[in-house]
Structure 1
């Protein structure tokens, strides 16, 4: 049996041991964890020099795990009073990793620069299939509209409204139609340009917004826009002014039609995500599609604004057919390079 004195001694000894901090061998501690610290340091440095996009999928998955491990070792290092240089190194490493994982608020100017440098073109590039579908529907609508009006001019009034026609209809003479292409009356042209911009902006916005209805309304709007384009072309071509009308349209139309096509593509992405969510839950699929679509739509608004400037100013002051074609085709080439040319991340 243990005597009471011995028990008291053991109790005092146990209390003394519990009061002492747990000792950790610094060299062994470094050896066990240094590999994880070095890898975390490398990943964070790569993010700082370039961006998170520079990391592979495996690195992206490892980054938060390594960060939590570093936090745990930092806590141990502080509690066991390891050397100050190690504690300072871990504090700095964890702070750098935190900013890369959770991010920090950036200025509006920096966010805007990132939108134009990466966000918008990346979103458009991801919609290339939907963009191709919207383009084909536009071309198909234009061909059908052209053939319908050529075969029976009365189709024009069922396709194009009075506001859009503005006197450009099958009953107009060649001289009257030609005057609308080169007339320098600023008030008349400014009014028509404003109407046309508003009309096309509405089509672009509705093409995206109605995508949730399985993209059916979006497809109908895109086709209808093509029908109007073909019908107008048929009126001018029938009076021998097809080339001139195409030049009149090209100076702003390449930008404007591209914006409408991108808006339709964004609507298609949302609609197909609802109809065919794949392995994701329907809600998650729609959220992912909505993000890319919203970014592309935001950029399309910028394109419509640029088209409005070309339509309201450039088309009035530039009356040469060759110059109109040159400006329009240069804008188209610029958009294609901006969206689809590979770039560094």
Structure 2
């Protein structure tokens, strides 16, 4: 797109935003945050395709003023927190959706490697999780309770321990993205191979359905969250590898801030998964099928909607905001 066409296409939107920022004419903090993210996208586009244009200076100044309004104002703290999950994170997920899709493709590929490896090597699972874990699983299967491991310990103790461990895995997956994304891929590889090989183990022992009923009650949110955290790590790695028109340091700072926001957005789901594993999964073998399946479908549907569908709805809503009048004459 030519620069003239770019300005003509967006000038009314910029003027509307400029007027709202300087007159403090926003309905709420969510609206301001949404417009700000769209402005940043326009600024990034201009920096990429029109690096010597005066429009970059204008958009920079407008973005700086909007930044002060959003992040320096001390009012509406509660609304800003709500807006973070309601608007800001979904828009970020839309902007970086390719990283999320890539993380899922890698997840399925690595999990398939675990399945194939376990299918072709009877000792593979033992090399991954250890003899003791496998032997305990075999004893549980023979006792008629394949997922008895989730019944050990108290409800609260399991909830706290599991949640802390899952948070640790997610944070490590993100932080290791600083090694050009390779560290993130390593964390994902280890977890996916363990998942794939263990699920094949249950299939081989003819208790696959029983394992699904138990593991995926909490696993839907737990595993999904890890994939999103891996996507955040890939964003961090890509910010170093592909700085674009920014300096590598500036690109890294942008990637780090963006990745941290994506990482933080997974925490409620991680806590929910820990709660389910500590308090609900232990009863999977006695609950009716409809209940266990209902929990799995609802939890998977909720987190899938938030990261894969809701971002499109928010983006569509923003792009339909009407413009007011030309910014340039």
Query: Which residue of structure 2 aligns with residue 18 of structure 1?
Result: none
- Spell out the pairing of 1:303-318 with structure 2 (5 A cutoff): 303-318=269-284
Q: What is the TM-score with the length of structure 2 in the denominator? A: 0.71
Q: Is the 8 A contact 1:144 1:227 kept in 2?
A: yes
Q: Which of 165, 172, 193 pairs up with 1:227?
A: 193
Query: Which residue of structure 2 aligns with residue 114 of structure 1?
Result: 83
Instruction: Return the structure number with greater relative CO, CA threshold 8 A, min gap 6.
Output: 2
Q: Is the 8 A contact 1:44 1:100 kept in 2?
A: no
- Are the structure 2 counterparts of residues 117 and 183 from structure 1 closer, same or farther at C-alpha, using a change threshold of 3 Å? same
C-alpha deviations, 1:222-257, integer Å up to 9, x for none?
A: 011110001111111111111221221221111111
Over the residues paired in the alignment, what is the CA RMSD in angstroms?
3.6
- Spell out the pairing of 1:37-186 with structure 2 (5 A cutoff): 41=19, 44=22, 47-49=25-27, 50-51=31-32, 53-54=34-35, 61=58, 100=69, 103-161=72-130, 167-168=136-137, 171-172=138-139, 174-176=141-143, 178-181=144-147, 185=151
SS at match of 1:51: helix
Structure 2 regions of 5+ residues with no counterpart? 1-14, 43-54, 319-329
- In structure 2, C-alpha distance between the alignment counterparts of 1:101 and 1:202, rounded to whole Å: 30
Q: What is the TM-score with the length of structure 1 in the denominator? A: 0.68
Q: Is the 8 A contact 1:204 1:263 kept in 2?
A: yes
- In structure 1, C-alpha distance between the alignment counterparts of 2:272 and 2:236, rounded to whole Å: 26
- Are the structure 2 counterparts of residues 287 and 166 from structure 1 closer, same or farther at C-alpha, using a change threshold of 3 Å? farther
Query: Which residue of structure 2 aligns with residue 72 of structure 1?
Result: none
- Spell out the pairing of 1:192-341 with structure 2 (5 A cutoff): 196-318=162-284, 319-339=287-307, 340-341=309-310
Shift of 1:211: 0.5
Q: Is the 8 A contact 2:159 2:279 kept in 1?
A: no
- In structure 2, C-alpha distance between the alignment counterparts of 1:98 and 1:276, rounded to whole Å: 25
- In structure 2, C-alpha distance between the alignment counterparts of 1:154 and 1:307, rounded to whole Å: 30
Q: Is the 8 A contact 1:43 1:59 kept in 2?
A: no
Structure 1 regions of 5+ residues with no counterpart? 1-36, 69-96
SS at match of 1:187: coil
